[in-house]
Amino acid sequence: MLKHIRKTVAAAAVTTLLGAQAMAGELVINYDGSDPAPKEAFAMVIEKFEAANPDITVKWNLFDHEGYKTSIRNFLTADAPDVAAWYAGNRMAPFVNAGLFEDVSDVWAENGLDEAMASTAPSMTIDGKKWGVPYTYYQWGIYYRKDIFADKGIEVPTNWEEFLAACATLKEAGITPITIGTKYLWTAAGVFDYLNLRTNGYEVHNDLTAGKIAYTDERIVAVFEKWAELVEPGYFIEDHAAFSWQEALAPMVQGEAAMYVMGNFAVAPLREAGLTDDQLGFMQFPEITPGIPMAEEAPTDTFHIPANAKNKEDAKKFLAFLASAEIQTEVNKILGQLPANKNAEVADDPFITAGFELLSNAAGLAQFYDRDAPAEMAKAGMEGFQEFMIKPERRDEILKRLDKVQEKVYE
Amino acid sequence: MSVDSTIEQSYWKKNKLKIAPWLFLAPGLLMFLLYVIAPIFQSIWVSFYEWDGLSPKKFIGLANYQELIDDRDFYRSLKNNVIWLVLYMLAVPIGLFIALFLNQNVWGIRIYKSLFFFPFVISQVVVGLVFAWFYDPSNGILALIFSIWGGRPPAILADEDYVTYGIIAAGLWPQIAYCMILFLTGLNNVSPDQVEAGRLDGAKGWRMLWHVILPQLRPATFIAVVVTIIGALRSFDLVSIMTQGGPYGSSRVLAYYMYETALSEYGYRMGYGAAIAVVLFLIMMVYISFFLWRMYRQEKSGG
């Protein structure tokens, strides 16, 4: 028995030794795309990367999407991989400020990315340096049921009056105008962001999430007034706080609801549930204040090199590889999203081409409320949005509370 | 060298009886110190700092506690904890009555007992999921029942007024089973002589229960109450599974609030989370010390 144990221990020791030696040409990548499409896309990238660099073997660890957000804090300090997936904007700020991400401005400079990825460059920059490489982004907007709109004789609304009129027509016909599932809060932030971007514009969005404007500011109050015009007549689905965003797709598929303010990742499950491209349409969030340049939401997913990475040289090769137009074309074809490299080709899909056109003409790209605002503010803010959507009469109380959080967070 | 060893040996021989129990206790004590006692002091220590888990800690004295005093979410969680404590205690009498009901000798009673005990065996996570499906306003069983009467079901888990009660109902299901088992074992030890004597003196029904059975169940009742109180105070899993503290934080309890501020996606305020943990610890301490004090008294009086 003892002998057996000794043998196992010895074997374990040998394996760790071998493991340590194998590190030389090995590139460890931690990735959070556990859904089928991201998984497939990433497997393809690695296969191509290994083919192009035969001396490097890639070892990738696939994480659950939600669990990753907690794990990354541990592995960045304790056992850092060479490349790690994360998000742009303020979401990466804590790691950058704690010195856990490597400055990769040289990768950008050497590969001409400053020009090729100009649209996402600002969201990758902190203190004038680039801290990662984006590989995909996607548009937000309103996904709607074309057939229901046609049936009720509704034209695609381009301004707020038309939008409200469309909602009223749908409501009268017994169809819930807008479906949403706010159980996990962030969906409400999408609606808020768009109302804010359309009422006040891109600058106000940035100033608000940077803590330069109070929530009781009259411009933000105006956003909530617009929101109330949707909440008070009951244009949002009832009991939305009980549903996740996926559960809220069901009413739309069943034809009980007609619109959904969402990101492009909603297209895949909607198609899977049986909606054809004749039934499902995409429109830009309508104009509210006339003349304000239309900025859009386009969250960007990124890869970074941890400061504690062992194989930074190959990691930089990988980032450059991932940033190339050719690879971004292929990855985003599988993901059904948009390449961050402007020289990449866009997949032939009505929603992706619509998104590409939308974002190419955008006056500015917002990451998303919970990526632009610091975590604590985002949490309190999104809870406030959800509360407002259920109890709109508490508006002033909610905004005052958010001001209090803001004072504390940005001090 | 040889002198040393003889001294050592004789010391060991002299004190063998005193040292042996400590040697046996050592592994357990060490684990207890390392994993229970030390973290308590660590938490208290961290609660004086501002720390995100990554950057260097910053000492801020009592500022975290000061913030707690002015934190609406803290009071809401505290209030929910009180509701939990009060309603969770229902598990004790209900468990007692089910135990009394099941404490009879009919054919197949063992199966019924196991069936009643079943909810305690399954994981809290499963309980939470099952109840979340019950409450689902579109397809849940509650929605079905309401639709029979032509009504619209309340979205229990999405309504700030019902949500805590909905979660407590889910929690009571396994807790009642637990109390029931405690009472069933207690009932096994009820002395038949005393029941017989009571019967001779004309005690029946409620009087028999109150004056003869219940006094003999006191140890079981005590454990049931303590276990239920502690269960109510650490009610974390159900909140996490069923609502994640929502809608807009109205179903948070202290344990969940602590987790959310310290460890969740939007949290990482370790110091503030630790301060909440310390407050929760102090509340629990009241019950734990009462429990220890009673145990100590019982040991002393030999009962």
Mean pLDDT of the A109-130 span: 88
Q: Between A288 and B246, whose confidence is greater?
A: A288
Query: Dihedrals φ, ψ of A366, to 5°?
Result: -95, 145
Nearest CB among B136, B243, B249 relative to A383 is that of B249
Query: Is residue B140 domain-resident?
Result: yes
Nearest CB among A66, A70, A242 relative to B158 is that of A242
Return residues 255-294 of B near A (CB < 8 Å).
260, 263, 265-269
| Residue A19 confidence class, pLDDT cut points 50, 70, 90 | very low
Nearest CB among A73, A386, A408 relative to B248 is that of A386
**Is residue B81 domain-shared with residue B163, that is, in the same domain?**
yes
- Torsion sign (Cα): A79, A84, A90, A91: negative
Query: Is residue B63 domain-resident?
Result: no
Say how many C-beta atoms besides its own lie within 10 A of residue A129's C-beta: 15
Where in the sequence is the domain holding B114, given as residue range(s)? 69-301
B266 CA: distance to closest CA in chain A (Å)? 5
pLDDT for B282 beyond 80: yes
State the first-to-last Cα distance of chain B, in angstroms, to the nearest integer: 52
> Would you kindly state where each structural domain of chain A is located, as residue ranges?
11-137+300-366, 140-297+374-409
Measured CA to CA, the distance from residue A283 to residue A143 in angstroms comes to 6
Whether A376 and B53 lie within 8 Å, measured CB to CB: no
Interface test with B, best of A239, A372, A388 (most B CBs within 10 A): A239
Chain A residues in contact with B135 (beta carbon < 8 A): 242
Measured CA to CA, the distance from residue A87 to residue A301 in angstroms comes to 5
Measured CA to CA, the distance from residue B30 to residue B25 in angstroms comes to 8
Per DSSP, helices labelled H in B103-189 are 109-121, 124-135, 141-148, 163-188
Which helix H or strand E contains A93, and what residues bound it? helix A93-97
Name the closest residue on chain A to residue B73, using Cα atoms. A380
**Is residue B145 domain-shared with residue B271, that is, in the same domain?**
yes
Residues present in chain B in total: 303
Query: Dihedrals φ, ψ of A318, to 5°?
Result: -65, -45
B138 CA: distance to closest CA in chain A (Å)? 9
Query: Is residue B56 domain-resident?
Result: no
pLDDT in tens, B124-177: 999 999 999 999 888 888 888 888 887 777 888 888 999 999 999 999 999 999
CB A278 within 8 A of CB A147: yes
Chain A residues in contact with B155 (beta carbon < 8 A): 238-239, 241-242
CB A240 within 8 A of CB A182: yes
Q: What angle do CA B242, B245, B247 make, to 5 degrees?
A: 90
Q: What is the ipTM of this complex?
A: 0.81
Measured CA to CA, the distance from residue A343 to residue A60 in angstroms comes to 27
Whether A379 and B266 lie within 8 Å, measured CB to CB: yes
**Is residue B28 domain-shared with residue B76, that is, in the same domain?**
no
In this complex, how many residue pairs, one in chain A and one in chain B, have their CB atoms less than 8 Å apart?
A: 76
Interface test with A, best of B67, B69, B248 (most A CBs within 10 A): B248
Rg (CA), chain B: 25
Whether B269 and A376 lie within 8 Å, measured CB to CB: yes
| Residue A88 confidence class, pLDDT cut points 50, 70, 90 | confident
Query: Is residue B61 domain-resident?
Result: no
Query: Dihedrals φ, ψ of B295, to 5°?
Result: -60, -45
**Is residue B288 domain-shared with residue B142, that is, in the same domain?**
yes
Q: What is the 3-state secondary structure (H, E, C) of A22-46?
A: HHHHEEEEEECCCCHHHHHHHHHHH
| Residue B191 confidence class, pLDDT cut points 50, 70, 90 | confident
Report pLDDT for B8.
Answer: 63
**Is residue B127 domain-shared with residue B251, that is, in the same domain?**
yes
Query: Is residue B80 domain-resident?
Result: yes
| Beta bridge partners of residue A125, listed in sequence order | A130
**Is residue B274 domain-shared with residue B211, that is, in the same domain?**
yes
* CATH number for position B160: 1.10.3720.10
**Is residue B129 domain-shared with residue B178, that is, in the same domain?**
yes
Nearest CB among A98, A184, A239 relative to B158 is that of A239
Helices A375-390 and A218-231: crossing angle in degrees, nearest 10, is 40
Report pLDDT for A362.
Answer: 85
**Is residue B26 domain-shared with residue B105, that is, in the same domain?**
no
CB A351 within 8 A of CB A335: no
Q: Between B301 and B124, whose confidence is greater?
A: B124
**Is residue B209 domain-shared with residue B150, that is, in the same domain?**
yes
**Is residue B203 domain-shared with residue B121, that is, in the same domain?**
yes
**Is residue B30 domain-shared with residue B92, that is, in the same domain?**
no
| Beta bridge partners of residue A129, listed in sequence order | A126
**Is residue B40 domain-shared with residue B139, that is, in the same domain?**
no
B12: Cα within 13 Å, side-chain hemisphere: 7
A411 CA: distance to closest CA in chain B (Å)? 13
Return residues 237-256 of B near A (CB < 8 Å).
243-244, 246-249
CB A139 within 8 A of CB A360: no
The CATH number of domain A11-137+300-366 is 3.40.190.10: yes
Name the closest residue on chain A to residue B248, using Cα atoms. A383
Chain A residues in contact with B67 (beta carbon < 8 A): 408
Say yes or no: do domains A11-137+300-366 and A140-297+374-409 share a fold: yes
Report pLDDT for A280.
Answer: 95
CB B112 within 8 A of CB B125: no
The total of structural domains in chain B comes to: 2
Q: For the ranges A253-267, B18-32, B110-124, which has the lowest average pLDDT?
A: B110-124
Query: Is residue B60 domain-resident?
Result: no
Say how many C-beta atoms besides its own lie within 10 A of residue B245's C-beta: 24
pLDDT for B2 beyond 60: no
Measured CA to CA, the distance from residue B206 to residue B218 in angstroms comes to 17
Whether B263 and A70 lie within 8 Å, measured CB to CB: yes
Chain B residues in contact with A253 (beta carbon < 8 A): none
User: A140-297+374-409: what fold?
Assistant: D-Maltodextrin-Binding Protein; domain 2 (3.40.190)
B138 touches A: beta carbon within 8 Å: yes
